Amino acid sequence: MEAISSSGCWLAESSSHDINQFSTALKGWIQEYDQVSAGDFSGNLKDIAMGGVRIFREQMSLPVAQHVHMPDGLINVLVPLTASAEVGSDSSRALFADSITLLPQNQDMYFVGAENTDYVVISVDQQHLLQHLCEADQVALLQSQRNYSLMVSPREMHHLRTLLPALVEEQLALPDAEQAARYRPLEHRLMDLVSSLYTGYDHDGEEICWRPMSRQHQSIVQRSHQYVLSSAGAEASILDVCRELNIPRRTLNYAFQKVAGMSPVKYLRMVKLNSARRDLLRSDDGIGDIAARYGFFHNGYFGQEYRRLFGETPSETRRARAVFPVM
């Protein structure tokens, strides 16, 4: 379902069992998703935009490595709706399961979500928000750091986890004739919520603690990810990856366990399989040629690992191109 007005407001709902199709569902954001756990993927997106304010909820059934280029000029606040012992347990993760994450502007964001990832993002045009703030709050907003998590009280987190999905559902459930009349109240409510978080207090007036987020382990995983997909790294062993990044094997293993919850061998194999799948959907190159491109020179092994991850053979993926085109 998608409805777009002449004023640029819209409501959209989409779902997909194809991870590549789902990664393109969020209008205006550049994203690439890799499935890093075997099983049947399903994703659901509910998206509402009201001029300078947007709120969307994204749910994914399986662990997914998400590469997102954050849009410029937007203030983005991510609220996890489900806590997970696997993801967000310490500062090695990009997201904290027990706090609100401030997403950076005009930067690449990378993280590995847990099984049954479920979060809401409020996205506000910075200039639009500044027009509604007094001078002191404008200064506080512009000086705030982006690579932080906001530690709020358990009561506040429960409040947000209850409130935000309800706001999305209420707006989507309205008859078409009533949608426009409800945009402005929702817009103001979300702007007030974001401005209060950035200026340091929750809705009960309690002070919010800002916690810096470490990117060291994420950087190791992301650089390894990029290297094995390059022509130089297509046939790389784990020792080759360590040499390329100039880090000990122990450090590499530790980073992958912290960020992805698995060994580098397993993660990087799945990364290659995801890229092979995109090539199968995008190109007419032979299956064997695509497999070799990512270091799989034994067709039987490639087909076995591919089917284990995606639940279908490479040939079945190739035949599905007409159903799930990838842009």
Level-2 CATH architecture, domain 216-322: Orthogonal Bundle (1.10)
Q: What tens digit of pLDDT does each residue of 271-305 get? A: 999 999 999 999 999 999 999 999 999 999 999 99
Model confidence band, residue 92 (pLDDT cutoffs 50, 70, 90): very low
The answer to whether residues 46 and 56 touch, using CB atoms and an 8 Å cutoff, is: yes
DSSP secondary structure code for residue 39 in this structure = S
Domain ranges of the chain: 2-212, 216-322
Neighbours of 152 (CB within 10 A): 24
Cβ neighbours of residue 14 closer than 8 Å, sequence gap 6 or more: 1, 2, 22, 25, 44, 45, 47
Do 2-212 and 216-322 show the same overall fold? Answer: no
Residue 241: both structure tokens together: 């990856």
pTM of the complete model beyond 0.85: yes
Average pLDDT, the chain: 87
SS3 (DSSP) at 188? helix
Helix or strand (DSSP H, E) at 275: helix 264-282
pLDDT of 317 over the 80 cut: yes
19: nearest Cα among 57, 58, 64, 68: 64
Q: What tens digit of pLDDT does each residue of 154-168 get? A: 888 999 999 999 999
Phi, psi of 297 (to 5 degrees): -100, -5
Level-2 CATH architecture, domain 2-212: Sandwich (2.60)
Q: What tens digit of pLDDT does each residue of 14-49 get? A: 999 999 999 999 998 999 999 999 999 999 999 999
E strand intervals along the chain: 2-4, 10-16, 30-35, 43-50, 53-60, 64-69, 74-80, 100-103, 108-112, 117-125, 148-151, 209-212
Neighbours of 54 (CB within 10 A): 23
203: nearest Cα among 243, 169, 163, 173: 163
Q: What tens digit of pLDDT does each residue of 177-211 get? A: 888 888 889 999 999 898 888 777 777 778 888 77
More confident of the two residues 52 and 240: 240
| Rounded Cα distance, 317 and 305, in Å | 14
Phi, psi of 8 (to 5 degrees): 90, 5
Alpha helices in 115-215 (DSSP H): 126-130, 135-143, 154-173, 176-198
Query: How many CA atoms are closer than 13 Å to the CA of 87, on its beta-carbon side?
Result: 22
